[in-house]
Amino acid sequence: MKAPSVVRLLAGTLLGRLPTGMAPLAILLLVQDDGGSLPHAGALCALYGLAAALGQPLLGRLVDRHGQTLITGSATALTTAVLLALPAALDAGQSAAANALVVLAGLATPPLEAGLRALWPHVLPDPEQRRAALAVDTGSQGLIYIAGPPLTVALAHAFNPAAALVAAALAGLVGAAVVLSSGPSRTWRPTGRRASLLGPLHHAGLRRLFIALNGTGFALGALTVWAVSAADRQHAPWLAGTVPAALSVGSVAAGALLAHRVLPGTPAAQLRCAAAVFSVSWLPLLADPSPWAAVAAVVVPGAVLTPLITSAFLTTESLTAPGMVTEAYAWLIAAVGTGQAAGTALAGLTTTHSAHTTAALPALGAAFTAAVLLTSRQHMNPTPHPTPSKENRLGRPNDLDC
């Protein structure tokens, strides 16, 4: 991967998406700092995540029509301004205004991740380079959650949670500027025409895939609240940021490995296998492990998350007609985000129950993903498109299964 734009696009996207790794935890800590309850803070974080998930497909469709510069640039400016205003609204006790700002910040979250996936075929014409780039891209997204939560906690303790939210907003602005000022982003234009008013959702396989990935997001959202709850219960405040970071360490490591290794089977087959392993990998949390044991335990699902999401993106690519790729990727991201919001909200409500109840939620979400995918094999066959490109795959064409 020697294309000069690769490093710039990856670094800019990671920095631009840093608010997604910092803002939810910063909001949670900000509410707690103002004397609010953990369930209320979890609900507010869920509201932010849900709004972000709902906004991505719409923004993705607009990008497919008008390009990245106008749509992503406008969304970045809006969400930055709103995040900067949010601490003042919370400090003033203006709950209605704070809720509205949280929703607006989520809805305006720039579609940098979907946009990056749409850029890869233009930046890297070679299919093997694209496959490797996607693996590194997917795995490196975990850096957001390695750096984001600990940075949020550090800023909150050194200054206050509001400072963490301001830092997240400014990082997002700088990162988006790096991406949008690059040549590939400025010159990118979609190809093909929209085949349906429903866009990617007209395909039954994509609908099932997006439904399944709600469970994956649910597991991730529940883990964030479980980490905060465990930190309070075990008197280890560092655990709130370290557990999500440990999950991401596993994801980054897996991304580096997959960049140099071709797995057997089609992306759809790899997706089913990864989903099955992902569901089992959460079971150690049910034992309510000690702080350091919990950190070690979540590395495993983090490592499985990368092939799961990578194969999901490749499956999406194979099922999506030209002219709507950004929207399709945005729906995938939205599915994970919607599930994450639900997991955050439900986990926040269960913190008053036993630790085992909250710890079971990630496993239940992952099991849902596996169940839907394992019963949807017949819907995941690639749809023939006029373009000849089916080579951007994680594995070989034989459809090996678990």
pLDDT at 397: 42
Residues paired with residue 395 on neighbouring β-strands, in sequence order: 263
- Contact between 362 and 305 (Cβ < 8 Å): no
Percent of the chain whose pLDDT exceeds 70: 89
pLDDT at 228: 82
Residue 83 has pLDDT above 60, yes or no: yes
Q: What is the mean pLDDT of residues 297-309?
A: 92
Helical pair 38-66 and 18-33, crossing angle rounded to 10 deg: 150
Q: Say how far apart CA 108 and CA 169 lie, in whole Å.
A: 12
pLDDT at 392: 36
Residue 87 has pLDDT above 80, yes or no: yes
Task: Please give the CATH superfamily to which domain 4-192+199-379 belongs.
Answer: MFS general substrate transporter like domains (1.20.1250.20)
Quickly state the pLDDT bin for 180 (edges 50, 70, 90): very high
Q: Say how far apart CA 258 and CA 260 lie, in whole Å.
A: 5
Model confidence over 41-60: pLDDT tens digits?
Answer: 777 887 887 888 889 999 99
Percent of the chain whose pLDDT exceeds 90: 31
pLDDT at 26: 87
Residue 130 has pLDDT above 60, yes or no: yes
pLDDT at 353: 64
**Which has the minimum average pLDDT: 95-99, 126-130, 162-166?**
126-130
Residues 6 or more apart from 98 whose CB is under 8 A from it?
44, 86, 89, 90
- Contact between 323 and 42 (Cβ < 8 Å): no
DSSP letter for each residue of 180-210? HTSHHHHH----S----TTGGGGSHHHHHHH
Look up residue 175 and give its two tokens: 């990162």
Residue 262 has pLDDT above 80, yes or no: no
Quickly state the pLDDT bin for 195 (edges 50, 70, 90): low
pLDDT at 84: 92
pLDDT at 31: 80
> Considering the chain, what is the average pLDDT of its residues?
83
Q: What is the mean pLDDT of residues 19-41?
A: 79
- Contact between 324 and 61 (Cβ < 8 Å): yes
Higher local confidence (pLDDT), 370 or 265: 370
Report pTM: 0.79
| DSSP-derived secondary structure letter, 368 | H
Quickly state the pLDDT bin for 300 (edges 50, 70, 90): very high
Residue 383 has pLDDT above 80, yes or no: no
